[in-house]
Amino acid sequence: MGYQTLCGAPTKKGGRCRNKAMVGYARCQKHRGDWVRPQIRRGKKRT
């Protein structure tokens, strides 16, 4: 098995988010939003 990548989203303090990214996404649950096009398409296909 591979390892789970880190989120890396910019924080308010100027650092990077150190949470683990969700499986199949580049960001953690907190920073994953509808603004990322592939995620929007993936979500629309499920419904």
**pLDDT tens profile 1-43:** 568 889 999 988 999 999 999 888 888 988 876 555 565 555 5
Residue 18 CA to residue 5 CA, distance in Å, equals: 9
Per-residue DSSP letter, 36: S
Q: What is the pLDDT of residue 1?
A: 55
Domain ranges of the chain: 1-47
> Tell me, what's the pLDDT at 24?
80
Whole-number pLDDT of residue 40 = 56
Q: What is the DSSP letter of 19?
A: S
Residue 4: its pLDDT value, please?
84
* Global confidence as pTM: 0.55
